[in-house]
Every structure is written in structure tokens, then in C-alpha cells.
Amino acid sequence: MTHSYDRFGGLSAMVVGALSLLYAVFYLVIARSAPEVGALGSWIILAASGIFSSAAFVALYLRLRPASEGFALWGLALGLYSSFATLAHGVYQALLILNLRSAEQGQRAAIELVRMVPSQVDPAGLGTFGVIGLASLVTGLLIVRGGRLPRALGYLAIVNAVLLVTLFFATAAGSQTLILLSGGLTSVIVGPIFWIGLGRTLRRETEAAGAAATALA
């Protein structure tokens, strides 16, 4: 049963990595030429990543539990909170854009207003950036110390944690330069490498275990 979930969790982690890249494309590229498509698409992608990241965090917990059950459970709790905050944040912002556009606001005015108004469900990206940064730090340290996954993944998770927490404080302070720097690094480089690497590792080890079990049978 655990091997079966590892396959699903690994696939979910890879989807999170792919969605992170897709989010960057919509938010940083498409939004320049088509603001509404870029903004609306990025929030929908963010919401979807919250669903898949929850599955990936459960797979991480199952793998890291033998190293330290308490810290692994704490990492899972932080990860699940951030996943559902991300889902709620994305859905809230997407619906806000649609509702403002259909009311008296114009397309560009609606998008600018959404950017200025703090999210009521995830202020300043507390869950989307801050709490998931803490979850990444806890799981990264467990990976490095526990030896249950490649240490390179642990170091990537720690670097990603620093970027995510920085992004949270930059968002709270309204520092656009720091937002673009930390957000670009985590969504385009470090985050996708970690999540896709984690997914490939989980699926590869599961396939190897399945092949070994078949050979013994």
C-alpha cells in the first residue's frame, strides 16, 4: 500500500514542479501581453498546485517518519496547512477577478485592485509562502539528517525554504525587487528542481522495490 501511495505521491510532486513553472510563465510572461489571462491563469494554477502538494507532503511524511516521527508529523501539518491555504488563495483571487470584471470595474482596473487588496484567506501569502517555507525547512533538515532520501534534495528544500520565507516578508513589505528575485528563483529554478527530483526519486524507488518483489516471487 505504501509503495502504491509513493507512486501517486511522486507523480503529485512532479505535477507541483511543473505547475510552478507554468505559474511563472503565466505570471511573468503572459500577464505582460494579456493581463487578464495571465493573472486569472496564474491564480488557477496556484490553486491546483495546492491540491497536488498536499498529496506530495503525505508521501514525504511516510518516507521521513522513521527518521523522526514528531518532526515529520510537524512538517506534514505545516505542509497540509500551506497546501489548503494555497488552494483557497488561488480560488479566492481568481473569483475576485471574475466578479470585479463582471461588475463595474474594467479588466485592467479589476486586476490592479486584486493586486492591491490583501487576500482575506491568506494575507501576504502567509500560507502560500511563509508556512510552506517552514514546512520545506523541516522536511529538508529531516532529509539531510535521516538519510531516507538523497541529501541533495534536503539541501534544495532548505534553500527553497529560505527563498519562500524571504518571499513572504518581501510580499508583506511590498518590496517588488525582492519579490521578483526570490519569487523567480523559487518558482522557476529551485522549487521545480526539488519537486520534480522528489517525484522521480519516489517513483524510481517504488518501481525498483516492485521489480525486486516480482523477482523474489
Total domains in the fold of the chain: 1
Length of the chain as a residue count? 217
C-alpha distance from residue 199 to each of 89, 111, 135, 161 (Å)? 25, 34, 17, 18
Is residue 216 in some structural domain? no
- Do the domain assignments include residue 135? yes
Domain limits for position 165: 2-209
pTM: 0.87
Whether 215 is in a domain gets the answer no
Domain membership flag for residue 214: no
124 pLDDT exceeds 90?
no
Helices (H), the chain: 2-24, 31-33, 35-64, 69-102, 107-116, 132-146, 151-173, 176-184, 191-216
pLDDT of res. 115:
58
Residue 28: pLDDT band (50, 70, 90) is confident
Q: Is residue 36 part of a domain?
A: yes
* pLDDT greater at residue 41 or residue 122: 41
CB-CB neighbours of 28 under 10 Å: 16
Return the pLDDT at 108: 58
**Per-residue pLDDT reduced to its tens digit, 127-169:** 999 999 999 999 999 999 988 899 999 999 999 999 999 999 9
**Residues 6 or more apart in contact with residue 20 via CB below 8 angstroms:** 49, 186, 187, 188, 191, 192, 195
Higher pLDDT, 3 or 109: 3
Do the domain assignments include residue 217?
no
Whole-number Å distance between alpha carbons of 125 and 105: 25
- Print burial letters for 49-83: b (CB count within 10 Å at least 16), e (below 16): bbbbbbbbbbbbbbbbbebbeebbebbbebbbbbb
Is the pLDDT at 195 greater than 80? The verdict is yes
In a domain, 24, yes or no: yes
Rounded to the nearest integer, the mean pLDDT of the chain is 87
Contact 127, 114 (CB under 8 A): no
- How confident is the model at residue 147, as a pLDDT? 81
Q: Kindly state the DSSP code that residue 117 receives in the 8-state scheme.
A: S
Q: pLDDT tens across 31-87, in order?
A: 888 888 888 999 999 999 999 999 999 999 999 999 999 999 999 999 999 999 999
